Amino acid sequence: MRLGKKWREAGGRNLNFDSWDLQQLPWSSDRVEVVRLGRGEPIILVPGLAGGWKLLAPLARRLADRYEVILYSLRGDRDPFAWGRSEGLADHAGDLGRLIDHLQLERPTVFGVSFGGAVALELATANPGRIGALVLQGVEARFRTTLGASIARRVLERFPLPADNGFVNQFFNLLHGGKPEPGPLADFVVERCWETDQGVMARRLKALEGFDVSDRLWRIDMPTLVLAGTRDVVVPIARQRSLAESIPSARFEALEGAGHIGFLTHRADVARHIRRLVRDGQRSFC
């Protein structure tokens, strides 16, 4: 299969997560999973609405040849019932700050994707001194409640769905920016996303409904990069460009042909842009 060969050659093989070295941090009634790869300047990857840290693993492996890459699970990923109703964006941002403190990191680079981008923005605007550089993909300054998002939340809240549900799988396919070619990559996305409990997805969608940092973007004083897929149908590229224009000194880069999960499908380009951001930041610091 042509896609399968590309997927293997691009680093999608050998992702046997059972062999990965996991730490567990005892926070509240759940335990946060943390994975650390490579050595060098630290980069924390903040996962999105569904899929957890494993969906970011292919990108992490690519970045780990030059940096220490830190993956972690969001509250609810391991135990959907452990955190109760306390799953607002401020709670998730607090967890990210707590992780930085626990690992004794001094102003690391933080890369947030989709829901994780909102988490990163929440921390960056509330406590900008905690982050050394910020990378965002698939997010805007405020969440726009659409009919589709409202329906998705209600369905996830009220109806237990099988993992092969065609309606939800079609939504996951939209993450590619269009119907993906069948094969290992498309299967990987669907399998990872279904590892997130549907009730947790619903609570995260509800948390996003009140998300709006548009009046606080001026507080972001760290080097910032906004990446946007040209085929992102979840958060259109124009809205992500507007986010970059609203952040002082932020740089915007388009990922040609990428959808909402460009961090996975176009991870070579994403890694290149991140390396440039970190390199430029080191030069300005010196």
Whole-angstrom CA distances from 117 to 9, 186, 211 are 28, 22, 11
Per-residue pLDDT band at 74 (split at 50, 70, 90): very high
DSSP 3-state of 58: helix
**Calpha distance 210→91 (Å, rounded):** 13
DSSP state, residue 51: S
**pLDDT value at position 148?**
46
Token pair 């998002």 in the structure block, residue: 149
What is the C-alpha to C-alpha distance for residues 131 and 7, in angstroms, rounded to an integer?
32
CB of 260 closer than 8 Å to CB of 49: no
Tell me how crowded residue 185 is: count the other CB atoms within 10 A of its CB: 20
| pLDDT, mean over the chain | 83
Are the beta carbons of 70 and 45 closer than 8 angstroms? Answer: yes
Q: How many domains does the chain have?
A: 1
Give tens-digit pLDDT for 117-153.
999 999 999 999 999 999 999 999 998 655 344 445 4
Q: Beta 224-229 vs 109-113: how paired, if at all? A: unpaired
Q: What angle do CA 128, 129, 135 make, to 5 degrees?
A: 55
pLDDT surpasses 60 at 160? no
Enter the tokens of residue 153: 């939340």
Q: Residue 164's domain is classified under what CATH number? A: 3.40.50.1820
User: Residue 114 in contact with residue 234, Cβ under 8 Å?
Assistant: yes
Task: Give the domain extent around 12.
Answer: 2-285
Q: What is the pLDDT of residue 193?
A: 83
Tens of pLDDT, residues 240-253: 999 999 999 899 99
